[in-house]
Structure 1
Amino acid sequence: MGDFVLKHSTNGVWFGEFTILSAKGIKHGISTRLGGQSTLPFASLNLGLHIGDDADAAWKNRQAFCHAVGLPAEKVITAEQVHGDMIQKVFLQDAGRGAQHYHESIKGTDALITNVPDLPLMLFFADCVPVIIFDPVGKAIGISHAGWKGTVAKIGQKTVLAMQEQYNTNPADCLVGIGPSIGPCCYEVDGFVIEKLQASFHNWEELVTPSGDHWQLNLWEANRQQLREIGIADDNISVSGICTACNTQIFYSHRAEAGRTGRIGAIIAL
């Protein structure tokens, strides 16, 4: 697995990169909560436009993050994430959808794919798993939002398969970064979630640790395994291994902060 490295931009923004992707010259990043303009409880680099923060501050934060990564904020495409498994193929004419105004986001979608150069895809997170995908041979990218519902629905796997269908992507060629999210140390789930997990993963017991009448769920491993199922090698999957709930000084955590918090963003462009 490659490394996940935090960087400090000259404009004060802190964000992370996967060396497995940056080595290929792909502009991408996972934001932190550091270096923005939002005030409590969204302090400070909140990128969410739908959670009650000042919209102007969130837009300035998006601009700052995109500038740090080297991508144009006004061209960013985002989605109205609903914890589903819908995947949207996007085109040049979609540039800017949801970038500054939430109501313009692509509706009811939790993954985006494209093969259009210089078209940034960005989704938002506060414990759920960011999955960013690059096909260096077919020149295509994807990004997925995988909470427990998306993980059980195998949205990361489905995103790669959608790239295969649309762009002739060979999964074995793909490089994948699994970003900071709530870790198995902090993610306790109940029997309802376990039932869904059992229906989706034959080896579900490898993904959980019993904790009384609950379980600690490893979303990182669940996402990694579903990618392995379709032929992506372990060496091509980089897991940050950073728990957002353990690191609220750096990232936002919906669970650790009782639902009143901001959103980090994951972005990628060809």
Structure 2
Amino acid sequence: MREEKGQPSSLFMLQIWCGTDDGLTAGFTTRRAGNVALHVGDDPLAVVSNRETMAESLGWDFAAFTCAEQVHGNDVYVVKTEDIGRGRTTRETAIADTDAMITNEPDVLLAMFYADCVPLYFHDSVTGAMGLAHAGWKGTVSEIAVKTVEKMREVYGVRPENMRAAIGPSIGDCCYEVDESVLKHVRPLLDTSTEEIVRPNEIGGRAQLNLKHLNRQLMIKAGILPSRIEISSWCTSCRTDLLFSHRKEKGATGRMMSWLGRKSR
């Protein structure tokens, strides 16, 4: 992901997806765009204003913003025309208990929120279907990446080998130390790339966990070709000058937003 020209360090664009014949926009905000989540105690009017500014920067109507109330689960919601705009100004109107949204509707901007968890992006140019997911460690080990692909195949008839995917900025294994309470759920998912995902440290029973690469492995398990998965190198904890980190900032922080949408032609 690269910074959007004209918006220094406030928007990261997934440039390999944007500006194509598909009419896609995809990316991730930084802390310089302000807090864009309504659940962390900031003035709701200020949060909505930040969202409106972001929409204007992207050249989108704010009415297209469609948000979920995330719960660190693995439920996948199919966004239809009547859902467009849910959650853009209040939490009460957001799509409830959902950590992944899929749609093939144009002119809807899917949006999810993060401060260390992993943003997952999915797109199929054949059917026009797209998906956005929020993968904390709980969502990751409950295979939200796989469930998102399976739901897109069920609802839209996508073929995973035709899909492309991306993994956005999140906490990296450099900063994400976990103990046995997490590792016991990770181990059953590991394949031959174990060392890339779990790196034991000197403290007994603890390890550095690479959630990005674990989600990449799960995308491959779901049938997406490795060559069609982009992955960000940004660590939210290392770069608190630019990104929010719940762990590094001990919970006293805002949230970034991932977005994915396609304008009608």
| TM-score of the aligned structures, taking structure 1 as reference length | 0.91
Among 13, 16, 20, the alignment partner of 1:20 is 16
Structure 2, unaligned runs of 5 or more:
none
Question: Structure 1 residue 23: deviation in Å?
Answer: 5.0
- Native 8 Å contact 1:125 1:265 kept in 2: yes
Structure 1, unaligned runs of 5 or more:
36-44
- Native 8 Å contact 1:178 1:240 kept in 2: yes
Among 27, 31, 34, the alignment partner of 2:32 is 34
Matched residue SS, 1:20:
coil
Aligned equivalents of 1:234, 1:194: Cα separation in 2: 25
Q: Hey, what does 1:258 align to over in structure 2?
A: 250
Q: CA-atom RMSD, angstroms?
A: 1.5
Q: Hey, what does 1:42 align to over in structure 2?
A: none
Aligned equivalents of 1:27, 1:98: Cα separation in 2: 20
1:82 maps to 2:79: no
Q: Hey, what does 1:63 align to over in structure 2?
A: 52
Q: Hey, what does 1:5 align to over in structure 2?
A: 2
Among 194, 208, 214, the alignment partner of 2:198 is 208
1:163 maps to 2:152: yes
Matched residue SS, 1:150:
helix
Q: What whole-Å deviation, never above 9, does each CA across 1:136-178 have from its counterpart, x for those lacking one?
A: 1110110000010111111012111110110001111111111
Aligned equivalents of 2:156, 2:168: Cα separation in 1: 24
The residue correspondences of 1:1-270 to structure 2 (distance < 5 A) are 4-9=1-6, 14-22=10-18, 24=20, 25-35=23-33, 45-203=34-192, 205-206=194-195, 207-211=197-201, 212-213=203-204, 214-270=206-262
Aligned equivalents of 2:59, 2:226: Cα separation in 1: 29
- Native 8 Å contact 1:18 1:238 kept in 2: no
- Native 8 Å contact 1:8 1:14 kept in 2: no
Aligned equivalents of 2:19, 2:166: Cα separation in 1: 13
Matched residue SS, 1:260:
coil
- Native 8 Å contact 2:19 2:25 kept in 1: no
State the identity %.
39
Question: Structure 1 residue 132: deviation in Å?
Answer: 1.1
Q: Which moved more, 1:67-76 or 1:252-261?
A: 67-76
- Native 8 Å contact 1:20 1:175 kept in 2: no
Q: Which moved more, 1:73-82 or 1:198-207?
A: 198-207
